[in-house]
Amino acid sequence: MRRAAGLRSAGRAGFAAAEVPHSRPCLGRDEEEAALRVLRSGRLAAGDEARRGAAHLARVTGNAGAVLLSSGTTALTLAMRALGIGPRDRVAVPSYVCAAVVHAIRDAGARPLVCDIDPLTLALDPEDLARRTTADLRAVIVVHPFGVPVRLEPLRGHGLLVIEDCAQALGASDRGAPVGSRGDVAVFSFAPTKVMTCGGPGGGLASPRAGVVDEARDLAMHDEKEDARPRWNALMGDLHAGILAVQLARLEEFRHRRAAIALRYDEVLASLGVLRAPSAPGADPIAYRYVVHVRDADHLLEALNRRGIAARRPVYRPLHRLLGLDGRFPGSDQAQKEMVSLPLYPALTDDEAERVIGEVRRCLS
């Protein structure tokens, strides 16, 4: 494993400069050489590199096909468009997710149906979905929270189209099936803070249904079309795709390093009552974030950031609060009160991980 030197990064407003950043991409000589190879070729638009990267993503996720796109949010919008979701449709989504999900729903012309989560697993609560279901509900976005696979069967029972949001879970699996292979379509993010990066904003879409991928690819480019329906300029270019190809080849390396750090955290922090969300039997998560339940998240966040550990809220603001919705969302409210995300990424050094453990211990004691 390549050990990364500790970097100092500016914190967000109100935080001291972070000696241990919350996230940091893991890049090396191979990624540098891939970028230089594409630059020297003079071909930066989507071409051979993007096609090879898409084929690799399809293989890794067990799908019939894939396309690389400009961002995960755009991938989610195009997934809904490719499934025929539009203005007369509602799309169910858990409240405890980032705002980009609801932005994508609205960009597709649909309306969000915000549902509560199970405060233990942090995943969409199927019983709450059943209580809130409306006649115009067409699809559900299943977010695999922080690398933990979500079971789809309870959601499939509602007869809805299933969109898997795998932005945080590439490399995870459930009972041997890769996350992203069990719904109607799956979307991925390759931004610098995700499981792996393309070197900037980037995303992907994959599906077991080849026609869905073909439709999304058609919607992602304007040139040489026979009709004038709205489209996006949304294909990932070869420069980012070349970097992503190297990162995809390192997926197992990243998985093992993340798992080793998470195991070390578990060994010490569990004795302090700091526990991660559980996985279902047969699930094999990827330790994308080390998200833990604590009694007072505000206190721990403030204390860690003051000591140079860039801890964060896993979700800045749940959707029901962001949208000012009426009704009760007790699971999402509890998660917002109790959850803290600690630094965990392949570029985190052993010394940095031990510093995180030591500061958490001091803050809680």
190 and 290 assigned to the same domain: no
Q: Which among 193, 127, 141, 40 is positioned nearest to 330, based on CA atoms? A: 127
179 and 110 assigned to the same domain: yes
Q: How many other C-beta atoms can be found within 10 angstroms of the C-beta atom of residue 2? A: 13
49 and 174 assigned to the same domain: yes
289 and 160 assigned to the same domain: no
Q: Looking at the 3D structure of the chain, how many domains does it have?
A: 2
Q: Does 240 fall in a domain?
A: yes
Strand order in the sheet with 65-69: 65-69, 203-207, 185-189, 161-165, 137-143, 90-94, 111-115
Q: Does 6 fall in a domain?
A: no
Q: Does 198 fall in a domain?
A: yes
Q: Does 16 fall in a domain?
A: no
119 and 159 assigned to the same domain: yes
Which residue has tokens 């979905």? 129
CA angle 202, 287, 294 (to 5 degrees): 115
Cα–Cα distance for residue pair 301/298, rounded to 1 Å = 5
Q: How far is CA 321 from the centre of its chain?
A: 21
Cα–Cα distance for residue pair 21/11, rounded to 1 Å = 8
Q: Does 24 fall in a domain?
A: no
What pLDDT does residue 277 have?
83
Give residue 56's domain range: 29-249
CB 65 within 8 A of CB 217: no
Cα–Cα distance for residue pair 356/308, rounded to 1 Å = 9
What pLDDT does residue 158 have?
81
139 and 243 assigned to the same domain: yes
Q: Does 4 fall in a domain?
A: no
240 and 257 assigned to the same domain: no
Split the chain (365 residues) into runs of 10 and give each run's mean pLDDT: 37 56 97 98 96 97 97 98 96 98 97 96 96 96 97 88 98 96 97 97 97 97 89 96 98 98 95 87 95 94 96 97 96 96 98 97 91
Please write down the HEC assignment for all residues of the chain.
CCCCCCCCECCCCCCCCECECCCCCCCCHHHHHHHHHHHHHCCCCCCHHHHHHHHHHHHHHCCCEEEEECCHHHHHHHHHHHCCCCCCCEEEEECCCCCHHHHHHHHCCCEEEEECECCCCCCECHHHHHHHCCCCEEEEEEECHHHCCCCCHHHHCCCCEEEEECCCCCCCEECCEECCCCCCEEEEECCCCCCCCCCCCCEEEEECCHHHHHHHHHHCCCCCCCCCCCCCCCECCHHHHHHHHHHHHCHHHHHHHHHHHHHHHHHHHHHHCCEECCCCCCEECCCCCEEEECCCHHHHHHHHHHCCECCECCCCCCHHHHCCCCCCCHHHHHHHHHEEEECCCCCCCHHHHHHHHHHHHHHHC
287 and 199 assigned to the same domain: no
242 and 259 assigned to the same domain: no
Q: Is 26 exposed, middle or buried (0-12, 13-18, 19+ CB in 10 A)?
A: buried
The per-residue pLDDT for range 275-318, each reduced to its tens digit, is 888 888 899 999 999 999 998 999 999 999 999 999 999 999 99
> How far apart, in Å, do the first and last CA atoms of the chain sit?
33
Q: Which among 362, 258, 345 is positioned nearest to 25, based on CA atoms? A: 345
Strand pairing category for 65-69 and 90-94? unpaired
The per-residue pLDDT for range 172-199, each reduced to its tens digit, is 999 999 999 999 999 999 999 999 999 9
229 and 108 assigned to the same domain: yes
278 and 160 assigned to the same domain: no
Q: Does 284 fall in a domain?
A: yes
Q: Which among 147, 189, 173 is positioned nearest to 290, based on CA atoms? A: 147
Q: Does 280 fall in a domain?
A: yes
Q: Which amino acid is at 115?
A: C
357 and 220 assigned to the same domain: no
Looking at 249, 275, 309, the residue that finishes a domain is 249
What pLDDT does residue 18 have?
57
Domain with residue 350: its CATH number is 3.90.1150.10
Looking at 216, 249, 282, the residue that finishes a domain is 249
Domain with residue 39: its CATH number is 3.40.640.10
Looking at 249, 272, 296, the residue that finishes a domain is 249
